[in-house]
């Protein structure tokens, strides 16, 4: 069960994961992300709805995700939660979508997309650009988890605002 009351199906893919070659795609360093963010004034954090499920699986991969339920066989057509390479695959796709903008004013970090800007005008332009890219690539957002035009955000276990950053006290209690 998710915090919002919804249910997410998670299968035990340990047998499949044990025979998969691990994708060692390099995630951005959290300290580097926080340093970049602490130079901005305006922040927006977007949440990709069920992030992994937005990625289509090729036919061969679909077969590997098969499971039985109530005497029927099913295969995922979208990337399910629980596959060893799902985070790396999703991050790679998000980095490709925003390849020209990464670290300039947008940082995708798994299913979070962080937009950061110095001025309100720039931020509005950056938001429009990001929304257009998301629309082009059919990436959908969970509006309940999105935060727009904030001067302070909680992200990656930290609180960020212009020239300041600190650990989110709720994360250390």
Position 15 scores a pLDDT of: 93
Tokens for 171, please give them. 């994360």
4 in any annotated domain: no
pTM: 0.85
pLDDT at 69: 86
pLDDT computed for residue 102 by the predictor: 80
| pLDDT at 172 (0 to 100) | 75
Expressed as residue numbers, the domain containing 100 is 26-49+84-171
Regions of the chain short of the pLDDT cut 70: 1, 173
**Residue 83 contacts residue 7 (beta carbons within 8 Å):** no
pLDDT for residue 134: 96
Number of domains, the chain: 1
The CATH number of the domain holding residue 167 is: 3.30.70.270
């Amino acid at each position: 069960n998710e915090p919002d009351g919804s249910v997410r199906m998670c299968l035990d893919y340990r047998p499949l994961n044990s025979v998969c070659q691990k994708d060692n795609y390099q995630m951005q360093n959290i300290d580097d992300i926080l340093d970049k963010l602490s130079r901005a004034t305006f922040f927006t954090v977007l949440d990709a709805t069920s992030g992994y499920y937005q990625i289509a699986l090729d036919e061969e991969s679909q077969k590997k995700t098969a499971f039985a339920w109530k005497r029927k066989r099913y295969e995922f057509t979208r990337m399910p939660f629980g596959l060893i390479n799902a985070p790396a695959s999703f991050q790679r796709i998000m980095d490709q979508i925003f390849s020209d903008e990464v670290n300039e004013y947008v940082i995708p970090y798994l299913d979070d997309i962080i937009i950061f800007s110095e001025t309100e005008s720039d931020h509005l332009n950056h938001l429009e650009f990001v929304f257009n890219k998301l629309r082009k690539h059919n990436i959908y957002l969970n509006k309940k988890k999105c935060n727009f035009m904030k001067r302070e955000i909680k992200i990656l276990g930290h609180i960020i605002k212009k020239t300041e950053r600190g650990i989110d006290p709720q994360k250390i209690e």
